[in-house]
Structure 1
Amino acid sequence: MADNSSYSEDDTRAAWENFVSSGKDADGKPLNVREEILESWKRSMESGVDAGSQASRMVYDENQLYRRRQRNAALRQAASAAFKRLEPHLKEAKTILILADDQGVIIDAIGDAHVLDEGQEIHLELGGDWSEKTIGTNGIGTALRTGRPAYVHAVEHFAEGVQAWTCAGAPIHDPFTQTVIGVVDLSGPPQIFRQHNVALVLAAAREIEIALAEQKQVERTQLLEAFLMSDYSRAHDSVVLVDQTGRVLFRRGLEEDLLRRAKELSVGHKLLPKLDGLSDQEIPKLLPLSVEAEGIERLKLEGVFRGAALFLRDKSKMQRKAGETCKILPRVNVAEGEVQIVGSSPQMVDAIGLAERAALANVSVLIHGETGVGKELFARLIHSRLPNDKAPYVPVNCAAISSDLIGAELFGYAEGAFTGAVRGGRAGKFEMANHGVLCLDEIGDMPIELQPYLLRVLEQRAIYRMGESQRRPVDVRLVAMTNRDLRKEIEKGSFRRDLFYRIGVMTIKVPPLRERGNDVCELLEYFSQLHAAETGQSQITFTDRVLELLLRYKWPGNVRELRNLVQRFYLIKSDSLVTERDLPPELLDDFEPGATELGEPLGGGHSGDLESIEASAIRRTIISEKGNLTKVAQKLGISRPTLYRKMSRYQIQKP
């Protein structure tokens, strides 16, 4: 790099004018114009940058700028110490220090207030886009483009409006991948700038890289510790841990054959793209073909998403096959028949497999699914697969017990604990479920004030009856069920975050019937056989048209609604063939033109299920009132908030 004394303002300006007018240098390389500057001018020209530009572009959208700064929070944090150390000296030097992201957009700027104000005239400020393809040769954009420090003085800038400035930029490299993730730049008027400032920004960039490395190492160590201390780390044999950038930082229990075929699983390899914005369903699809994940658990530090544990499918073990019958034998000393989970769709096969593995791991399980999908069958499945066939199974519906009594129901109470307490006290559901399964249905309805006590019982494995101080150890497998989105309940403050992570060590999502494809036909056959045997009637059959309609139907009441529909057929039919005329009018309404007035099929209809009837009434009223929700609420006699809540519960689209 030429020193400052070799720079000639007149020669450089003549060379620049000749270049922008002709698109090339006059006689080979012009005197006193550095090779790196010429190369940058050529790139600027090829990118279509206007040499007469007076200012760079701006990111004016405040939300977009906010998201950009949040996305680079780690970089900004790593730079904060260096910026704070240098800030007092910048004011005396009439200079500003800038931090730009990997696209050349300024995300932080400090220094002399007067210079900062002047920088706004050319958009050298927060949100300014200083990539080389936007504004041409400059310290930020050229350092980004070349991956090397860049010193650009006055007329060396490609855009005329920037030639009253001098800048020195140094790229910041990711300490693990060595990719350029940002630039630190020192800018100011030409008369106060010296070439050795390149050394200053280079030192600042190295300081930021060291801070980044320390920051990431601490974060990775914390992630690993959090995972190894968690219950779900012991629930799976084959595990790969990735950080937020998708890089492998830990693996365990992988078959040698899998490791040979999948070099992507080596520690340090970037297995996935950045996890921000990716759903749990999208992440497995982005894995290499040789790697198959059967589950994922997001990992958080201080409530912020920082990585994920991928539970890999062990192909050496027996896997449940599609179509394989899943039977649940009657409980010991309980008068009940055999129960069967019907369905061969991939989602159901996966859910059944997870439930069977959950029975082998002594962890809490959260079963999530809409009303009527059969969540209780999965709780029974877990119980039925326990090694002890005499293990108790104790169900509790949290929504069916008043908030005043649910504590006594769960933990029991001592004699005289409250008015009406039975003599001698009484054991609670936890004690009754000792060495077995306690199934808490509608866990989202548990009062917030009672949740800390549940969390303490799960962590201490002991209870205290209400009104007494005696510690009673319990060994209970908790299975919680809900049709609510507990993450949203956490945001609303009605469910504790720590309890959510404690009960959801393993989460099983039971798919709604509308997503299970031909499972509808399997369930029709199963319930038809069941009701034929119970009533002594001939088994009914269905026309192709009926099957077509039932496969297209949205089933808001899920499996429960389908079962009720089949039972209805057996009650009202005098023959054994079900035709389109036998379908309830509420169901047929879904296929009439009016049912799609709001842009999507409303998926209404019901078959005797009270919740389905309520959902159908809401849909019909929305249609009749042409989507005016204020009138809908008035006609139904409920408040607007109640209407919104019910629409969310029944998956009704907001018009």
Structure 2
Amino acid sequence: MRAIRRRNVRLLRAAQDAVGRAGYMLDGAGAMLLLCDRAGMVLDAAGDTRIRSRGEENHLHPGGLWDEGAIGTNAIGTALHLGKAVSIAGVEHFCEAIQRWSCAAAPVRDPLTGGILGAVDISAPSDENLRQGAALSVSLAMQIEEALRRLGLQEHQILIDRLLSRRNRGGEELLLLDRYGNRIWASESFGRLAERFDAGQRMIEEFASGSGAGGEGDPRALAGRMREVLPEADVNLISENGEPLGLMLAFAAPRPRGGAVRAELAAIAETGPTMAAICAEALELIESGVPLLIKGAAGSGKETLARALHGAGPLARLPLAVVDCGLMDAESLRGGAGGLPGAVGGTLAQLAETGGTLVMDELSETPAAVQAPLAQALAHLRREAGAPVQFISLSSVPLSERVATGALRADLHFRLSGAILRLPALAERRGDLEQLVKRFSEIYSDRRKGSALRFTPAAMLRLQAHDWPGNLRELRNMIEALSATSFSRLVDVTDLPQGIAHGPGKMREDTLRDRERAEILNAVAQCGGNMTETARRLGISRSTLYLKLEQYGVPRGRRH
């Protein structure tokens, strides 16, 4: 019985409050409540003590089995078999011994999969209160299902928190699954693993199908099978208080092919002339092996550029490791390169053997206590590595200022700053904004298998006016959210985040109106006064175009 209760811990937890309240209501009312699992096994009982004692004579107690196949017609078994609420009174029961009882039961379904998890039964030794019992059983089932929904949301948040707390391990691809095998999140390039992951995908689909049909929703079985068919994957079972909630699968990223990775750098360069010049200079430096420092405000795309440079450079087929300097401590630096063993030390030791690219993220945040051993380890790596190693450092603040204040060792700074590139803030790249919006819209439309977002002229003007304190990260997050929520795929001012749609920008309202008016007039001229074609080019409806023309005092052209 203990094992059965463990297997149904979610149902019991979700039903705890509802069973407790109903038991209090039924105490002295001549009826009792039974909570059963999907097999018809009674897990819990509450209600009138006298009635519960009588029920034990007929196995209406925890541990009693009321499967219709074994007992015949009864409220619990029949409700589970039919998947709907039923009432069985007196002689309607198959077994003569329980024909003195009147029972009403309703199934409890998992709100995510729709599968039946169990049933709630109200039983009494007469049929006087059968109608009220039927209503109560349905009400209790609904309460339990709502509690299960809340538990599901809590589990989802726990899984996301575990994902976010996982340290980057250098280019690995991640997949996060819930307890039923449903995909919660996948890293951007996970789709490239199709060939390696094919067997695992089939297994996940089979598991998810079984869970939806009333399976246990226990990812332990899936974890064991995944480890068998995907020995190269790191399969992590995520649990909370001993209860398994889901799986996280990690794959070492496949070695990219030259054409594909060079395309990533080319895509960055194509966002505007400023980035084209920066990418060209950066690639020359990478090809010469000079240690490179990329500085720029948070969210300006430093790590994205560093990864693209690795993929387009001469070491593209060697490992890429990204180290968060702010998270370093003495423990992480022990025993790797230069005799230091630990997470970072192990990364340096691997690069010493294989060669590759080391990206030092936020070098300025390196704790003072580890700067000296880190400098020694990097010197050892540079000197003793059996293959070329490229250093790329990233910083959101000027390192020279950190050196001047004593917060950063000068030797560490100069060792990693052979050449310095500055990435402009997004506010300095307003001319690139339209191309960036297009690029991010295409990325998220491909990922969601839908059409790309389109922005009205007024919406684009608002984007141009925004200061973008979060830089590319803010823009990318906004477009990802819009891509997930936009039904029409056409974004207007009212669809934008409030701070962008109504917040202060560098442009005055009249300037925005002037620019929109000029853009509309230009489109009308290019379309020869054809309003249908003009509206199509601007990405708005013809009625909206007419309203805009009237608003700006512009006579209408030909109607088509």
Larger Rg, first or second structure (1 or 2): 1
Give the shorter-chain TM-score range. 0.3 to 0.5
Between structures 1 and 2, the one with greater helix share: 2
